[in-house]
A and B are shown apart, each in its own frame.
Chain A
């Protein structure tokens, strides 16, 4: 994966495959502590202990289209390469919660990438999923909640091109406003 935004898209696809109805993506950046924390939580099927133990093994997958499963292990490696940590918790029937910590200034920290494109891809492909994106940088906050937007749309599809365009420009404005790093 070239950047963190692509990791997010990949993990969110996992959540959707695990039948999640709600996905929450949280970024917490703190310049003083030189930390970028990414948390993704879903209310999908979750994993039992046995599966969870194997989840970070690149040679494990639950899918039957191929025999390797790289998504989680790649994110874990990306975090560790940037002097960070990675942890994942999961409960069957409850959902999964993962946390990746990066040292922001680390030379091997991947760039954030195009967060707006990632979110638009998720919303467009899975309009039924409620997505919360919360980004905080040194106290400044941006938050996107597709459930709220959907409730205001009165039956218009959230994945109509016009709506997607407005959401995309809103995300970009929001991220500019908090002054997030590249």
Chain B
């Protein structure tokens, strides 16, 4: 049976010594929550979660807290994720796919600008009455 070797782990340890100031759920600049209720999972939330993991890795960011939560009650808008930059209002992004995640990460998480076109609320008001 293949096992994780001590060597594997030590390699990371050396590399992470400098950057692992952060604690689980402790200090972070951005909190990303992927909604993973039954509805979210069925709609592809796992892909979204993995896409965020990839983005964090790609940007080598150590100040981002990625977690998941349950159903937010907007099942038809899944997959969804909430991004909260420290001291700013949280923004819910809806109908996500991997491409949108990449864009949102670049724009909002790295750049600090909300990716308005994918945010919840865009186009939801219909006043044709």
Contacts and interface: CB of A to CB of B under 8 A. Distances in A.
Given A6-B42, A74-B38, A118-B46, A13 B68 contact: yes
Contacts, number: 115
Interface stretch (B8-16, B105-113, B118-126): B8-16
A64 to B, nearest CB: 8
A74 B37 CA distance: 13
What is the interface residue range for chain A against chain B? 35 or more
Nearest to A128: B24
A126 B33 CA distance: 11
Interface of B: 1-4, 6, 8-9, 12-13, 15-16, 20, 22-24, 34, 36-39, 41-42, 46-47, 49-50, 53, 56-57, 60, 62, 66-68, 70-73, 75
24 contacts: A10-B38, A10-B42, A63-B70, A71-B38, A117-B47, A121-B46, A121-B49, A121-B50, A121-B68, A125-B36, A125-B49, A125-B68, A142-B1, A152-B6, A156-B20, A159-B24, A161-B53, A162-B15, A163-B9, A163-B12, A166-B8, A170-B4, A173-B2, A177-B1
- 4 interchain residue pairs of minimum CB distance: A161-B57, A65-B73, A125-B68, A71-B38
